[in-house]
Amino acid sequence: MSYTQTQLDELTAAIASGTLNVRHSDGRSVTYQSLAEMRKLRSDMQAEIKQAAGTKKRRRTMRMYQSGNGL
């Protein structure tokens, strides 16, 4: 399923208010069983939106070298 930023914002607002019911701007209403379920969905939504935007986590690389003869 493709999520939108608006849906993510609505879910985040519901989590912040502590309610289990989310009313979307298109009139749909969804009731969740727990805040844990809502947080998991929010995490999934964020990952999917980032992936669709083409942004990925960058891996940090550190390169080290030693010069000299080691004495």
DSSP string covering 7-38: HHHHHHHHHHHT-SEEE-TTS-EEE-S-HHHH
Q: Where residue 57 falls among pLDDT bands split at 50, 70, 90?
A: low
Task: Say whether pTM exceeds 0.75.
Answer: no
Q: Which pLDDT tens digit goes with each residue over 15-47?
A: 999 999 988 888 889 999 999 999 999 999 999
Distance CA 63, CA 11 (A): 42
